[in-house]
Amino acid sequence: MALTVRDLTVHYGPFAAVRDARLDIADGEVLALLGPSGSGKSTLLRAITGLEPVSSGSVSWDGADLAEVPVHKREFGLVFQDGQLFPHRDVAANIAFGLRMHGVPRERHAARVEELLTLVGLAGYQRRRVTELSGGQAQRVALARALAPEPRLLLLDEPLSGLDAGLREQLAIDLAELLRRSKITALLVTHDQEEAFTLADRVAVLDAGEIRQEGAVRSVWNRPADDGVARFLGVTSFLDGEARDGVVRTGLGPVELSEVDDGPVRLGLRPHGLKVSADGIPGEVTAAVHRREHLRLVVRCGESTVDAVAPAGADYRAGDSVRLTPDPDGIAVVG
């Protein structure tokens, strides 16, 4: 394991911002710390960086404890949410900063800066003032600056949160490609599932200072450990049922789910886990909201109220009768 975090606790006064965190990141792996704001994920990242004093527990790299290693000797690169480029230096000097700190001979700087600018898609920007860059450009330069001294671990603290939606998506794709291609070991902090899933191999879900679940992206998405994690991952209603031979019998009818052991199961339904169809469970629409890709409904089915979706072109209003069938794609197994 490259990075190992064991039982890490960080206190702000009497308040434990992070409690007993355990993490492992393998060489070349990208791990996302996913959690709502205030869950302690940035604190954990800053503690790993060495910027936050640790109350107990350990952070180690390749088995060597980092407790006595100050920030500037950890060789971890950090990208802040809002870049934090040095305003008194131009783009090239920002990127070369880490090279200077690590004693890389001056004549090698220009080539490395050019290489990195090409990597982040800003070739030719060397002499620009950082105050003239757009948000997306600044973030690309911040990334190049962090990568320049070839850190053994790249730490990304909500790197895309400050950007517009369209730009964010594009930069996430570029960043994912860059991380994979250069086989960079990275730890990403984000509150955005999309971002985590685009960029990371594995995710760790944090809530109230504790890591609730950790695993491969797909498995966390499909099998959230508890209701809290499930809710954070977009589940809006829960449904208990009985599984037998790949079919779960529920109050809303049978759901086909492979890889479920026989016995009682708890299902977590995301809105698109129930779709309006010609047959299925009858219900009454209580609210309808138009979204870009679908019509989102709140439907009362007997005792319970569930979320469901209809095609974007459909027109349902409160009071209309609909029928719903489950769609396994939008259903997770909780626990």
Interface contacts to other proteins, rule CB under 8 A: 11-13, 49, 51-55, 70-78, 80, 84, 86-88, 97-98, 101-102, 145-146, 148-149, 151, 155
Token pair in block for residue 117: 């600018």
Cα separation, 143 vs 161, whole angstroms: 14
Shortest distance, position 88 Cβ to other proteins, whole Å: 5
Shortest distance, position 322 Cβ to other proteins, whole Å: 43
Cα separation, 9 vs 155, whole angstroms: 19
Q: Which is nearer to other proteins, 154 or 220 (CB)?
A: 154
Cα separation, 309 vs 118, whole angstroms: 43
Token pair in block for residue 285: 């629409």
Q: Which is nearer to other proteins, 83 or 224 (CB)?
A: 83
Q: Which is nearer to other proteins, 12 or 180 (CB)?
A: 12
Shortest distance, position 287 Cβ to other proteins, whole Å: 32
Q: How many CA atoms lie within 13 A of 188 on its CB side?
A: 29
Q: Which is nearer to other proteins, 87 or 313 (CB)?
A: 87
Q: Which is nearer to other proteins, 69 or 314 (CB)?
A: 69
Terminal Cα distance for the chain, rounded: 27
Residue 207 CB neighbour total at 10 angstroms: 20
Q: Which is nearer to other proteins, 98 or 268 (CB)?
A: 98
Q: Which is nearer to other proteins, 126 or 325 (CB)?
A: 126
Shortest distance, position 71 Cβ to other proteins, whole Å: 4
**DSSP per residue over 21-69, as a string?**
EEEEE-TT-EEEEE--TTSSHHHHHHHHHT-S--SEEEEEETTEE-TT-
Cβ neighbourhood burial of 192 (10 Å; 0-12, 13-18, 19+): middle
* Residues whose CB is less than 8 angstroms from the CB of residue 38 and which lie 6 or more positions away in sequence, other chains included: none
Shortest distance, position 106 Cβ to other proteins, whole Å: 15
Shortest distance, position 139 Cβ to other proteins, whole Å: 13
> Is residue 273 a contact partner of residue 330, using CB atoms and an 8 Å limit?
yes
Shortest distance, position 211 Cβ to other proteins, whole Å: 20
